[in-house]
Structure 1
Amino acid sequence: MAQQPQTQPAVRPKTHYIKGEMVLFRDVERYWLGLPGHTFVGRVERSWTNVHNGKLLYDLTELSGNRARAGIDPDYMRPLPAADAMHDIDTAPLSEPDTGAMTPAAVAWLRQHLAQDSSTLPVRR
């Protein structure tokens, strides 16, 4: 008898966001129409409830163009954790860093802090 493939239950995404959080969101109409430019990074500006259906919606600022996007459905939003954004810096080699393996932001951070006092690194915040 053939063994059934193992499936994992779907993870329900976080559905409540607070002002200032960074999110990835998808313009669902552009996505289903196969149009380019359907996924963006945004910053949550406010939340509100649609009076017609009671659904919680969000207004965002699209970071790539500083454009306001209103009424975004949280089903098409995902959080962008700070740990993911800072992973390259957190895992950067600190002894003789290979600048080719790090992003420019990580290199700039290391140069700034190592130039201040080359004997010690700054205190972790």
Structure 2
Amino acid sequence: MESRRDVFQAIADPTRRQIIEMLSRQPLNVNAISEKFDVSRQAVSLHVKILEECGLIVVKRQGRERYCEAKVDKLNEVADWVDYCRQFWTQQFKSLDKYLTNVQTQKPKK
């Protein structure tokens, strides 16, 4: 059984992030995507495959061409995680700030 890749794995690579950004503006075929990068068409196809496996893009056949279309709603998983971490760490830093303020205002013991 093949394990499905997750969104975090997809966005870990800068090339894949660029591909998602390009496809969020308009659907493109693999050749059009490849033209924008200094890597082989085969390397771009691998990136496209990973993005498709993660559910960030969908690939549709039109004749002999494969057109890629972004499905950025899947990025909500990342946004939710980032929001959770932001809230968690904001609370931690507020607690630390409060503690340090209390320590600084206490009179030293003789």
Q: Higher strand share goes to which structure?
A: 1
> TM-score normalised to the size of structure 1?
0.22
- Between the two structures, name the one with larger relative contact order (CA 8 Å, sep ≥ 6): 2
